[in-house]
Structure 1
Amino acid sequence: MASCDTTPGMRTLDDALQTIIGQILPLTESELLDIAAADGRVLSADVLSTMSVPPADNSAMDGYAVRIEDLTEYDRLEVTQRVMAGDPMGQPLEPGTCARIMTGAMIPPGADTVIMQEDAEVSNDGTIRVRAAIKPGSNIRKAGEEIEPGQQVLQAGRRLRAADLGLLASIGVGSVNVVRRIRVALMATGNELVRPGVPLQPGQIYESNSFVLASLLRRMGCEVIDFGIINDDIDALRQAFLNADTQADLVISSGGVSVGEADLSRQILAELGSVELWKLAIKPGKPFAFGRLPTSFYAGLPGNPVSAMVTFHQLVVPMLRRLAGEEVKPLLKLDAMVDEKIRKRPGRMDFQRAIVWKDDEGVFRARALPRQGSSLLTTMSQSDAYIVLAADSPGVDAGEYVKVVLFDGLLT
């Protein structure tokens, strides 16, 4: 049976992604940043440690540093010194003695084991008796057991996380080389669009895509150059594209890439550069374009808000990661049971906005929102995942399992 949801020339999502990633080379310009300002930025060079972590053997517990052989030779041990975190290394232990030691303090010479204070009985004369079986080397963090000098701790192409900044600080690194910010020119096209804050005239709608996309771009660490709303005028659009091309690494427009009489962006792209792909076999998001301008790349997103978000998340985000030198990884999918029937026509991969939860038996469950129109931005606001149905799927019945992609930190 022929599908009524196909259009000749549509590209699959995987094919489109391979085409895009295959044509983009990472940026080579970098800048040196203090680690306090480097959260979310992408490393442009490997980071090697110049020190050991821990820098010296230290105690993992509050307790007593002892020589393990003394535990069999002496009934009680004399506490001869006290070592706190931050103190210089203590004095060598003499036979039959021990050191009161605190978490993080350096192990005194001669000591090879730390007794937890809970396992030590302290007498009135200040001596201690160990009242538990102790293994040699217990409760000691060895110098370099986490990081050794010369060890690579972070690799170029990594987008820095909060824990990474702490890791850098722990090895004394105060600044790092990161890829410069990707410059993205952003514009919305359409005579019907107006900015929020002014009264609507008949036939007009408020432009919302630029607010969504600019937020997502900034979360990706990009520098956003806002070109505002461009009317459906070929000369105005051509000039906007030319101006954007001189300022940005990537030009993104929303609207103007479908097949209507006023959809001019693809026409101008073909005139000024090249169209590498157009039309995707996904729903929502079929009218997507990718190509080149004289000095920048171009991504043309659909005008419908949900379509714009889906294509941005599925294709523009990998594009940005590639430009920044990151490894582009597929989104993780999990299996979830749907609790209601989902209807679908074969032909295009479908991204249904959904709510996902885990039931009392530990089974992931998913429910598609009842309305799935590509203009309904509420479906992205109210959902936390996509139900992804393959192109050839005719839909699923209640109780069947589907693939689900949870919204990542970018969308939540």
Structure 2
Amino acid sequence: MDLFKVLTIDETRKLIDDKFSKIMGSETVSILECTGRILYNNIKSKENVPDFRRSTVDGYAVYSRDVFGASETIPSMLDYKGEVLMGQEVQEEINFPGECFYVPTGGMLPKGADSVVMIEYTDKLDDNIILASKPSAPLENVIDIGEDIKVDEVVIKKGTKLRAYEIGVLSSLGYSVVEVYKKPVIGIISTGDEIVDCDDEKKIGQIRDINTYLLYSLIIESGCIPIKFGLIKDDYNMLKNTFKDALSKCDMVLMSGGSSVGKKDHTVNVINSIGEILVHGISVKPGKPTIIGKAENKIVFGLPGHPLACAVIFKSIVKNYIDKIMEYSDISYPVESKFEINYHKAKGREEYLPVTLHMINGEMISKPVFGKSGLITGFSKAWGYVRIDRNEEGLKEGQKVSVNKF
């Protein structure tokens, strides 16, 4: 048996960058359907927001100089000229010193007014005279024209994942449709004589398919479209035909299982029959026997059969490529915690250690989830994982670590 010629995670990502230049095209969708989509172009404002001076409080629109020095003992006397109605353009204006208009929150200021005195600091002497007991500086209690967004300002940058907040901004700027990256279509092939579907009757020696459903959900979470190509037995011709079908329909293919070097592991031979193997072995735990290939100018991932290893490789390698072809920079914010115990690992291999999180005496504590290679408890119980660098020999009790969510 030949030993793997392994690459580090960083080396693997660089190799993928060097070998694949694909960028997804675009499509135009309604802003009601673009939540979670990646923006294809910069969004520039077509107008000032707001495009008129508006009040942030209920009060009286004034020329600030007319209330300079106003106090409770010596209030400024203002000539009341009327009320500004919400949603209407104000035709009136302040023409003479001391004039004022009542304006509600969000209302438009009349011409000549540059500030608003809050209604709490005013009294009505009669129907025509308002007493202001507090001064108001220029633009106090006012949102100026373009203060939020200016014409031609880039409001949302290309490559942004659109959330409810960005969609609200789009609607405020008059965008009812937006150009986004097309969703990559990703094929899933699971292999193995011992694998049966989750709703099939299981015999002794068989295990139910986990990775198809795990990958299907991860693909959706990543903003892509998954296609299942079924469970394929350890048969070379059957796997090759299914692989060719997946290549014709998808932007990339994920093959789960068959990435080791056993006699029945046909993944390498099938990929080589149509394309080439670029990577067979990554210096990471779990996930060392990962395969990366190129066929018909498309990337192919041969993922380990162990669900935890499969998830780790998806998060660290596959997701990185998905983000690249949609020109999206995914920024994650890990949870900082203290590691609970001393933990030793083999030097020279990057490790993704599954952990649980607990709050103890006001401190966040991370605890490793131990399990043998073939068990799924580490995958099912873990909140996230701690990445341990290849040059580190482990973690010490009480050491501060960053926990990334699965």
TM-score past 0.5 threshold:
yes
1:260 equivalent in alignment to 2:256: no
| Cα deviation, residue 194, structure 1 | 0.9
Give 3-state SS (helix, strand or coil) of 1:285's partner.
coil
Aligned to 2:339: 338
Letter in 2 for 1:366: S
| Cα deviation, residue 359, structure 1 | 5.7
Please tell me whether the aligned partners of residues 24 and 323 of structure 1 are also in contact (alpha carbons under 8 angstroms).
no
Please tell me whether the aligned partners of residues 249 and 295 of structure 1 are also in contact (alpha carbons under 8 angstroms).
no
Determine the C-alpha separation between the residues in 1 that align with 2:203 and 2:318. 33
| Cα deviation, residue 124, structure 1 | 5.3
Q: Which moved more, 1:7-16 or 1:105-114?
A: 7-16
1:317 equivalent in alignment to 2:319: yes
| Cα deviation, residue 382, structure 1 | 2.9
Aligned to 1:188: 190
Letter in 1 for 2:341: E
Determine the C-alpha separation between the residues in 2 that align with 1:267 and 1:400. 45
Please tell me whether the aligned partners of residues 306 and 375 of structure 1 are also in contact (alpha carbons under 8 angstroms).
no
Unaligned runs of 5+ in 2: none
Aligned to 1:51: 47
Determine the C-alpha separation between the residues in 2 that align with 1:77 and 1:376. 80
Give 3-state SS (helix, strand or coil) of 2:76's partner.
coil
Aligned-pair RMSD on alpha carbons? 2.2
Determine the C-alpha separation between the residues in 1 that align with 2:123 and 2:283. 73
Give 3-state SS (helix, strand or coil) of 1:316's partner.
helix
Letter in 1 for 2:201: P
Aligned to 2:348: 347
Give 3-state SS (helix, strand or coil) of 1:262's partner.
coil
Aligned to 1:405: 403
Cα deviation per residue 1:260-317 (whole Å; 9 max; x = unaligned)?
A: 2221112211221111112111111111111111142111111000010010011111
Give 3-state SS (helix, strand or coil) of 1:355's partner.
strand
Aligned to 1:4: none
Determine the C-alpha separation between the residues in 2 that align with 1:153 and 1:38. 17
What's the TM-score, normalizing by structure 2? Answer: 0.91
Structure 1 segments (4+ residues) deviating >6 Å: none
Aligned to 1:150: 152
Letter in 2 for 1:301: L
| Cα deviation, residue 184, structure 1 | 0.8
Letter in 1 for 2:268: R
Give 3-state SS (helix, strand or coil) of 1:19's partner.
helix
Aligned to 2:25: 29
Aligned to 2:237: 235
Identity of aligned residues (%): 28
Aligned to 1:207: 209
Letter in 1 for 2:366: A
Alignment map for 1:352-371 (pairs within 5 Å): 352-356=353-357, 364-369=364-369, 371=370
Residues 1:352 and 1:142: Cα distance change in structure 2 (over 3 Å): same
Determine the C-alpha separation between the residues in 1 that align with 2:248 and 2:218. 22
Please tell me whether the aligned partners of residues 47 and 153 of structure 1 are also in contact (alpha carbons under 8 angstroms).
yes
Aligned to 1:302: 304
Unaligned runs of 5+ in 1: 1-6
Determine the C-alpha separation between the residues in 1 that align with 2:164 and 2:288. 37
Aligned to 1:177: 179
Please tell me whether the aligned partners of residues 27 and 179 of structure 1 are also in contact (alpha carbons under 8 angstroms).
no
| Cα deviation, residue 258, structure 1 | 1.1
Determine the C-alpha separation between the residues in 1 that align with 2:381 and 2:128. 65
Alignment map for 1:372-387 (pairs within 5 Å): 372-387=371-386
| Cα deviation, residue 185, structure 1 | 0.8
Determine the C-alpha separation between the residues in 1 that align with 2:377 and 2:53. 56
